Amino acid sequence: MDVKDETRGVRVRPKEEFNFFQDKRVRSGFYQILTAGIVGWLAWYLVSNTAHNLEVRGMATGFGFISSSAGFDTDFKLIDHQPGVGTYGRIFLIGLLNTLLVSFFAIVLSTVLGFFVGVMRLSSNWLVAKVALAYVEIFRNIPLLIQIVFWYIGVFSLLPVVKKSLDLSFGTGNLILNNRGFYFSSPVPGDLFWMTSAAVVISIIGAVVFVGRAKKLQDTTGKQTKVLLPTLAAVIGLPLIVYYLTGQPLEWDVPMLKGFNYVGGISVPPSFLALLVSLSIYHAAHIAESVRAGILSVNRGQHDAGMGIGLKPGKVMRLVIIPQAMPAIVPPLISNWMNTVKNSSLAIAIGYSDVVSLFMQTTLNQVGHAVEIVGMTMAFYMAVSLIISFCLNIYNKRVQLVER
């Protein structure tokens, strides 16, 4: 030991004794190698077993089956498919689109209904609040699968037969409901319809610019401009004028009773309706709870202050409470959307042709290839949830920037 060092007041760092078994890096390295080893061994064990089993049973592997033709048809599809011509890849695509279709509409409906019920739960009217509470508790505590099966068997399969179809459009035949599904007229655009579409785009762009100017004006000078009526008039009025000037170039393909079934228009099967209704109701109950929690998380003083500066209750809600509640509402809301997509896989119980029932069940039963098919289906759901959580992250970043 240097005496000089001590006199100069320089502290000497005590030399750490290197102990192989106590060294942090050695230990962490050891545990990581151990974990990797165990997991690696397990993976190798499973893979080698699988390879051996596939060989013994003479089962083919690889993704070749995707381009071979599928011999079965589905009752509901968004893209064309001919049995015997279309491939299994096409079947995967059909199922995937069907899943996304029903999830999309269920998400829209459940979000609207959920906000409505969530606000109802906070109503000052005792009866309204209790009805909303009963709704939430009943539909949250009954398994979704039971609800789906009930809507399918107990409601949509018991609708009148084709000959006695219900007409929901007061006799015009535009909306037909029976036990084969829901039929509605589809628009068939004529030659000049592009002009109407162009008018819609132009008026929307105009409205956005107008609203942006009005907001800027308010931010800089505090002057408020009436926005709602002019924009609505422009967005609806301009396309309408163009539509009538070009001679109403839009025909409706109305569903017609031909033989034993309705032909024409667009139709969705009862299984779609059952799934849509039950998913919307079930998830609306969950969304209502997060909306309520979000609104309650806003300080009571904000409400009082809003009332204090003379805003009406509706405006207090819209301008003061909701904007502050949104950061608390959105994350659970989006996780609910994710759950809606995942829960749409219960379609298999009622035969709606979603990705699980078409691909993971029917295709798997026909061609085998369990590993590939399960992998593809799971990859699809993972991709959806990755995209949704990516959007959530973007939103969270934006919200954080707005805050101080």
Partner 1 sequence: MAIVNTNKTPDRAAPISETSMLGWLRRNMFSSVFNTLLTLSMAYIIYLSVKGILVWGLFDATFVADNRRECYDNSLTGACWAGVIDWLDNIFYGRYPRDEIWRINAGGLLLVLWMLPMWLPRVRGKVLIGATVVVFYPFLAGYMFSGGEMGLFIQIMASGAIASFVIIVANALVGLTKDVGLDTFVLEALGKTKAPDKTQRNLLIVLAVALFVVANLWVSTWALEGVSWTKWGGLFLTLVISGIGIASSLPGGILLALGRRSELPVVRVLSTGFIEVFRSVPLITVLFMATTMFPLFMPEGFVLNKLTQVIIAVILFNACYMAEIVRAGLQAIPKGQFEGAHTIGLGYWGTMGLIVMPQALKHMIPNIVGNLIGLLKDTTLVSIIGLFDLLGMLRSISKDVPWLGLHKEPLIFGAFLFFIICFSMSKYSRHLEVKLSAGEKH
- Alpha-carbon distance of 41 to 46, in angstroms, equals 9
Among 5, 6, 26, 52, binds partner 1 (CB under 8 A): 52
Nearest one of 65, 30, 114, 62 to 282, comparing CA atoms:
114
Q: Write the interaction track for partner 1 spanning residues 55-94; mark x where CB under 8 A is met and - where it is not.
A: -x--------------------------------------
Q: Binding to partner 1 by residue 111, rule CB under 8 A?
A: no
Q: Which is nearer to partner 1, 139 or 262 (CB)?
A: 139
Q: Which is nearer to partner 1, 204 or 392 (CB)?
A: 392
Structure tokens at 360: 């993971």
Q: Binding to partner 1 by residue 44, rule CB under 8 A?
A: no
Q: Binding to partner 1 by residue 386, rule CB under 8 A?
A: yes
Among 349, 392, 396, 399, binds partner 1 (CB under 8 A): 349
- Alpha-carbon distance of 266 to 259, in angstroms, equals 17
Smallest separation (angstroms) from partner 1 to the CB of 55 = 10
Q: Which is nearer to partner 1, 134 or 201 (CB)?
A: 134
Among 16, 18, 79, 141, binds partner 1 (CB under 8 A): 141
Smallest separation (angstroms) from partner 1 to the CB of 370 = 4
CB neighbourhood size of 178 (10 A): 21
- Alpha-carbon distance of 149 to 140, in angstroms, equals 16
- Alpha-carbon distance of 373 to 369, in angstroms, equals 6
Q: Binding to partner 1 by residue 393, rule CB under 8 A?
A: no
Structure tokens at 163: 């000959």
Three-state SS at 57:
coil
Q: Which is nearer to partner 1, 257 or 349 (CB)?
A: 349
Nearest one of 147, 111, 94, 88 to 343, comparing CA atoms:
147
Smallest separation (angstroms) from partner 1 to the CB of 274 = 12
Among 109, 242, 321, 356, binds partner 1 (CB under 8 A): 356
Radius of gyration of the chain (CA): 30
Among 111, 267, 278, 343, binds partner 1 (CB under 8 A): 343
Q: Binding to partner 1 by residue 127, rule CB under 8 A?
A: yes
Asked whether the beta carbons of 342 and 58 are under 8 A apart, the reply is no
Among 100, 101, 119, 128, binds partner 1 (CB under 8 A): 128
- Alpha-carbon distance of 182 to 267, in angstroms, equals 5
Counting beta carbons within 10 angstroms of the beta carbon of residue 283, is it exposed (0 to 12), middle (13 to 18) or buried (19 or more)? buried
- Alpha-carbon distance of 283 to 335, in angstroms, equals 11
Q: What are the angstrom distances between the C-alpha of 302 and each of 74, 122, 359?
A: 54, 16, 52
Q: Please give the residue ranges that form the binding site for partner 1 (CB under 8 A).
A: 28, 31-33, 35-36, 39, 46, 49-50, 52-54, 56, 124-128, 131, 137-138, 140-147, 149-150, 153-154, 338, 342-343, 345-346, 348-349, 356, 360-361, 364, 370-371, 374, 377-378, 381-382, 384-386
